[in-house]
Chains A and B, each alone.
Chain A
Amino acid sequence: SAAQDKEKKVRKEKEPFEIDFAAPMSQELAAQLYTNASSNATISLPRKEWRSRTRNLLPDDKHFNSKDLLKLFLKPKARLGARKAGGST
């Protein structure tokens, strides 16, 4: 059955994967199936990761954008570098 296993592996690399339902239980599979985890801890998340400080939420979005850096604080409508437009000078 070791030979069979080998053959399966080779095939696996070449062709699309297929489950062979007729195949007898391989040792490999049996080992996988019946090896239990040594302790619950080894297959679990560490406890401190059970809780997230932010609850996985985004911070409050301030919607800052590029235009904010190009505007005056006091006259948000006036564009920088476009001072005294409109023929007032």
Chain B
Amino acid sequence: RAICTVFGDAQKSTAGHRKLVISLRKIQEQCAYEPVKLNKAKRQEDYEEEDFNSEVVRCVLRILPVRKAEPAGDRVVRFLGTFLNSAGAKDNEIATSSDPDTTSALETPTSRLVSQILNTLLQLLTVKDKVIRFRATQITSHIINSLDTLDDTLFHQLRYALLKRIHDKESMVRLQAVYGLGRLAAEVEDEDRGEYSDSEDDVGRGVLEKLLVVLQNDPAAEVRRNLLLNLPLTKEVLPYLLERARDSDGATRRALYARLLPALGDFRHLSLTHREKLLRWGLRDRDESVRKATARLFRERWIEDCAVLPAAQAAEEAEGEGAQKPANQAADPSLDALLELLERIDVVNSGTEGGIALTAMKEFWDGRPDYVEYVSFPDDFWEDLNPELAFVARTFNDYCRSNKDAAYAGHRNLDALVEEKLPEVTKFGYFLERELNKLVATMHEAATGEDEDVVEDAAQREFIVEQLLHMALTLDYSDEVGRRKMFGLMREALSLPDLPEEATRLVSEVLRLVCGEDAKGEREFCGIVLEAIAEVHDTILGEDGETEQDNSSVDESFHSATEYVDEDGATVSKPKPKKKNGEELTPEETEEKAIKEIMVNMKCLHIALCMLQNVGCDLEQNTHLVMMLNNLIVPAVRSQEAPIRERGLLCLGLCCLLGRNLAEENLTLFLHCFTKGHPALQTIALQIIADILITHPSLLAEPSIDATTATEQPEGNQLIKPVLKVFSKSLKSDDPAVQSTGATALSKTMLSRLITDPDLLKQLVVAYFDPDTGTNAQLKQSLSYFLPVYCHSRAENAHRMVQIAPSVIAKLVTIRENMLDDADVDDESGEGMVKLGTVGQMLLDWTDPRKIVGFAEAAGTNATADGAGETQFLLVERLLDRMNSYQIGKDEKKVLFSILGKVHLPAGACSAELLKECCQEVAVAYETGLATDMTSRNILKKLQSQLFEQMNTVAAAERGGGG
């Protein structure tokens, strides 16, 4: 039959579909419209519409058993859709031409055919065979999506049936159901909410609502992805769609950035929060393709939204409508568009250090050479800077300088381009000076007035200055005039009491840079900073009258700060100071004075902190630093005020990095801070301790034995024990920051081989898997990086991991049991905890000798890989020892055996001694009947034969060598 032939051809390729649609339509017309259109002579057989329809349905049934993987099936389905769509349209044409008044929803031959097909399929949506269910759902959904209208009753039946299928066991069925419902969703929503609500309560709720639940919860990513791309883009749905930017599946995230968002229309309709989050998530995605898609979205779509609209508006104003934007063609570069784009992503907030606007602009310049070419920075650019302009200049500068040598059209390279476009250092210095002055003026105004606009203005000024300072950090100071200009400027800026902290930090860095890299420059830098601190101190407290008489008042006032503490240890505002005339201060005045002192202290300490971060000299050789330590930092550490004390400790810690003696003296103090302090202080203490140990590795070294040959027992290093204790305690802290800082600190010291304690390693690994730390993402992510690096970087580390492996598993088994016993646990089967099998898998991976650095290259010869090959022999020995020596539970045994089944035991890598021990353990395991089920018996058997074979080789070699 002709119909069969058409369908048969349709499966081969989609190319011929158009022709086939026409021929099938002809057959249909012959059957359905005979009286109207047909020339009887041409008709050989007299078929009725009904025959046609049932023949098509018969063909449709033939598609049903076709497995999903066959493209032929999909092609026929597509063909069917195309045909029904076009035939429906033709029917309507005929109907309208015969009766122009018909509006819609009339019955036509095609609509009858559709009903017949769909009614047949409806029955098949619940059959047992999954392939049939899949194809039936696929065809149904495809037809729904191919048609403009649907019969009302059918519509409700379909909706009901498909809603059942969104929970189908097979993800391929759910995918199709969701695809069909996506189309229905919008219509259902505006049409009849609640009509069905009193019948089947399950179905009564809106289709859309259910689909949104699926979007969030379906276990199959492709279902979520399909839904993401097929739901109506309404205001209510949008937040659910955007949430998929964090979907656990990379392809779904990419679909959002590469397909949904570009299709969404003007990004300015998104809220600021959404814009910021989407950028941040997308540009920092773990998946490179998502990052790329986001970058393109930003520099190709979002900028176009800004570039095109004002242009279109302008055109509209000029010549009325009809000014269509050229599709897919970038608008000419426009500074205004770029400024608007930056404003729309709130660059004052998103453009700070670590902010997403920096990444976004890096991608922008990288992908828009037209803009790189286009921007220019003439003098009037700098005249009236706003945050967006400053950010354009700063990111352009960053981009060019970090791609210095990249060739650039018409220029030698980007470095040359930026030199040409930006003003020279001296001029830049003047621009910066002007901005600094504006900032200080605004800060004053903001401090005195209560005008909110001024406060905001100050924030903007601050941002601008920061951008220019960042640029200053990249300039070339070989020109002495320029250098001097900047030197003088920075020196003055540093002593501005009102300069905000971030700007102060940048100023100190620029100053360090212009002083010159060498030791002389560093000394000069320290001297200037100290002067600045004194000056800040004087300017602020000076206004108060002449309470402080001399220039060394820095230390005077700090000493008085400590005296409060000595007096009675509690109150800071204890009235003590007297004015020079002897009048008593009122309580308000006293309090005000105390607050002011705190602020001065904080500011001075901050400057000191910035300086200390930028020097590397020996503290004891630098009188400036020693003076600052004694006069500023030590008193701060003793202060009663928590913020001062914390900042003081940070400074002291930095000083300790510059001098081993100082570090040795103060390590106990930091240990004490951890023991007695609150979480914020504990975090600081942990950081300092780790940094000190890493900077002065000798602090933890065992005292050399030769010095103490007299006494048999050298006293050992007194510091090790308390240090280990502090780290151990930090891992058990309730505070997530303390816990993760402790873990990271420990990671660093372990990588530097300063701490080699196996028990701490065990605690670290347990903490990694412990469900209690489940919400501490920082801890988890830092450890998931550290643990493999640690094990794979040295065989000795991997061996340590092997040593602790049995006890780690034992511990985790206990934790798991306790958790399951706990009646309060709401999720069944300990879902909150990683599976023991996974733990085993990771331990195997960490101790895999093939992954240890140097193993593959030269087994045994490389120092770091020494003994690498033995690693999992040792693991075998340890695990069997555990099972042979203790009565352990079923779960634990299962994990241990599963590990044993996958160990890698390279021939000839193991010492005879260890090999023998392994064999002995296997023998014991056999004697005691350790393996109770088939799987474990097989594992043990395999292990035994492997070990025996190697043992024989060794024995043979020994005999050969001996005889």
Contact = CB atoms under 8 A, between A and B. Distances in A.
Nearest to B216: A55
A56 B227 CA distance: 14
A83 B616 contact: yes
Interface in A1-54: 16-23, 25, 28-29, 32-38, 40, 42-45, 48-54
Contacts of A33: 61, 64, 124, 127, 132
Interface string A52-68: 11111111111111101
A78 B695 CA distance: 11
B616 A19 contact: no
Contacts of B247: 56-58
Contacts of B76: 19
Contacts of B168: 43-45
Interface string B606-637: 00000001101110000000000000000000
Interface residues of B, number: 83
6 contacts: A19-B66, A23-B62, A35-B129, A44-B168, A57-B247, A68-B782
Contacts of A54: 248
B218 to A, nearest CB: 8
B777 A59 contact: yes
Interface of A: 16-23, 25, 28-29, 32-38, 40, 42-45, 48-66, 68-69, 72-75, 77-78, 80, 83-89
Contacts, number: 185
A55 B76 CA distance: 36
Contacts of A77: 613-614
B236 to A, nearest CB: 17
B782 A64 contact: yes
A53 B7 CA distance: 46
B831 interface: yes
Interface of B: 1, 3-4, 7-8, 11, 59, 61-66, 70, 72-73, 76, 124, 126-133, 164, 167-170, 174, 213, 216-219, 221, 224, 243, 246-249, 284, 286, 517-519, 522, 613-614, 616-618, 650, 653-654, 657, 687-688, 690-691, 694-695, 741, 744-745, 747-748, 751-752, 777-778, 780-782, 785-786, 789, 827-828, 831
Contacts of B747: 69
Contact of A80 (B63, B127, B694, B778): B694
Contacts of A19: 7-8, 11, 62-63, 66, 72-73, 76
B274 to A, nearest CB: 16
B891 to A, nearest CB: 22
A73 B126 contact: no
A61 B781 CA distance: 8
Contacts of B827: 53
Contact of B691 (A18, A25, A75): A75
A64 B778 contact: yes
A58 B282 CA distance: 13
B126 A43 contact: yes
A28 B522 CA distance: 88
A27 B357 CA distance: 65
Given A33-B124, A73-B745, A49 B518 contact: no
Nearest to B615: A88
Nearest to A29: B65
Given A37-B127, A54-B248, A56-B217, A83 B695 contact: yes
A28 to B, nearest CB: 8
Nearest to A56: B248
Nearest to B689: A73
A16 B617 CA distance: 76
Given A64-B778, A64-B785, A74-B653, 16 more contacts: A19-B72, A19-B73, A32-B64, A56-B249, A58-B248, A61-B284, A64-B782, A65-B785, A69-B751, A69-B786, A73-B687, A75-B691, A77-B613, A83-B695, A87-B518, A89-B617
A16 B69 CA distance: 12
B782 A42 contact: no
Contacts of B127: 32-37
B11 A18 contact: yes
Given A21-B8, A45-B167, A65-B785, A32 B216 contact: no
Instruction: Report which residue of A64, A66, A74, A75 has the largest number of chain B beta carbons within 10 angstroms of its beta carbon.
Output: A74
A81 B217 CA distance: 48
Contacts of B249: 56
Contacts of A59: 777, 780
A38 B73 CA distance: 27
B828 to A, nearest CB: 8
B694 A68 contact: no
Contacts of A68: 744, 782
Nearest to B748: A69
Instruction: Report which residue of A38, A54, A86 has the largest number of chain B beta carbons within 10 angstroms of its beta carbon.
Output: A86
A54 to B, nearest CB: 7
Q: What 9 pairs between A and B have smallest CB-CB spacing?
A: A73-B687, A21-B4, A88-B519, A55-B216, A57-B246, A32-B129, A52-B217, A64-B781, A37-B128
A88 B518 contact: yes
A57 B782 CA distance: 20
B777 A62 contact: yes
Contacts of B745: 73
Contacts of B613: 74-75, 77
A34 B828 CA distance: 38
A57 B248 contact: yes
A52 B219 contact: yes
Contacts of B4: 21-22
Contacts of B218: 52, 56
A14 to B, nearest CB: 15
Contacts of B217: 50-52, 55-56
A56 B831 CA distance: 14
Nearest to A65: B785
A17 B70 contact: yes
A74 B748 contact: no
Given A22-B4, A73-B687, A62 B782 contact: yes
Contacts of B59: 21
Contacts of A18: 8, 11, 72
B357 to A, nearest CB: 16
A55 B246 CA distance: 10
A61 B286 contact: yes
A72 B519 CA distance: 22
B616 A86 contact: yes
Contacts of B831: 53
Nearest to A89: B618
A49 B687 CA distance: 43
Contact of B752 (A78, A80, A89): A80
Contacts of A66: 785, 789
A50 B215 CA distance: 11
A11 B243 CA distance: 48
A24 to B, nearest CB: 10
B691 A72 contact: yes
Contacts of A36: 126-128
